[in-house]
Amino acid sequence: MNGTLTAWSGNWRDRIRQRLRDAGFATIHQYLREFPGATYLELSDRLGCTIKGGGKDIAATQLQRIQFEEISSTCELRDAAMDALVRLLRQHLKKGWNLGGHAEFNRAGAKVDWVSLVATGTTLPNAATHADAVWNRLISLEPDSYWRPESTQDPLIQDAFNHAWPFDQEA
């Protein structure tokens, strides 16, 4: 090893949890609630320190992993999936649902990132099935070209989850 520090160097989970505590948050969920609608990239930049070479010592995907690792119930999974969808849509669709030269490609990227995060981020059964159903419902709602959800309280996000992943369904 050449001694270069990266986001993946050392015990990155402990590093992130310590940064969260230093910033006044007991859990990743408290941190995420403090910044609704912020992308994982924005959150990792806020929490991380710059390292040699200009990168950060915390990666966005690490925050995603910890968010889903800390899930202990199907209700928490649904909430985390809803939160992650908003953050990933905001990350991928910077101009809106159907704006920009690569809107379709960007939507596909958001879907793949989100469904794979939900499917692999937990051992709870049926998570991928619910994620696909939510995405399909969202498509059927035909969001406005400028649509970009601000938070999990967005009416389209609420509709998609209430229709395709109700609270009373097991994940």
Q: Which residues of 39-65 are buried (b: 16+ CB within 10 A; e: fewer)?
A: bbbebbeebbeeeeeeebbbbbebbbb
Considering the domain architecture, whether residues 45 and 105 belong to the same structural domain is answered as no
Residues 133, 126: Cα–Cα separation, whole Å: 11
Q: Is the pLDDT of residue 140 over 50?
A: yes
Assess if residue 1 is contained within a domain.
no
Considering the domain architecture, whether residues 44 and 79 belong to the same structural domain is answered as no
Q: Is the pLDDT of residue 171 over 90?
A: no
Q: How many CB atoms lie within 10 A of CB 140?
A: 11
Considering the domain architecture, whether residues 98 and 22 belong to the same structural domain is answered as no
**For the residues of 127-152, what is the DSSP string, one character each?**
HHHHHHHHHHHHHHT---TT----ST
The model's pLDDT over 152-162, given as tens digits with 9 standing for 90+, comes to 999 999 999 99
Considering the domain architecture, whether residues 103 and 164 belong to the same structural domain is answered as yes
End position of a domain, from candidates 34, 49, 70: 70
The model's pLDDT over 58-104, given as tens digits with 9 standing for 90+, comes to 889 999 999 998 886 777 889 999 999 999 999 999 999 999 889 99
| Predicted local confidence at residue 166, as pLDDT | 80
Considering the domain architecture, whether residues 95 and 65 belong to the same structural domain is answered as no
Domain interval for residue 139 = 73-171
Considering the domain architecture, whether residues 166 and 91 belong to the same structural domain is answered as yes
Considering the domain architecture, whether residues 127 and 169 belong to the same structural domain is answered as yes
How many domains does the chain fold into?
2
Assess if residue 158 is contained within a domain.
yes
Considering the domain architecture, whether residues 37 and 66 belong to the same structural domain is answered as yes
Assess if residue 33 is contained within a domain.
yes
The model's pLDDT over 8-66, given as tens digits with 9 standing for 90+, comes to 878 899 999 999 999 999 999 999 999 998 999 999 999 987 776 667 788 899 999 99
Q: Is the pLDDT of residue 127 over 90?
A: no
Considering the domain architecture, whether residues 78 and 146 belong to the same structural domain is answered as yes
Token pair, residue 105, equals: 């490609």
Provide mean pLDDT across the span 110-137.
90
Assess if residue 86 is contained within a domain.
yes
End position of a domain, from candidates 43, 70, 97: 70
End position of a domain, from candidates 50, 70, 90: 70
Considering the domain architecture, whether residues 61 and 86 belong to the same structural domain is answered as no
| Predicted local confidence at residue 92, as pLDDT | 95
Assess if residue 2 is contained within a domain.
no
Output phi, psi for 160, to 5 deg: -60, -45
Considering the domain architecture, whether residues 63 and 111 belong to the same structural domain is answered as no
Provide mean pLDDT across the span 132-159.
97
Helices 74-92/155-164 angle, 10° precision = 140
Considering the domain architecture, whether residues 16 and 91 belong to the same structural domain is answered as no
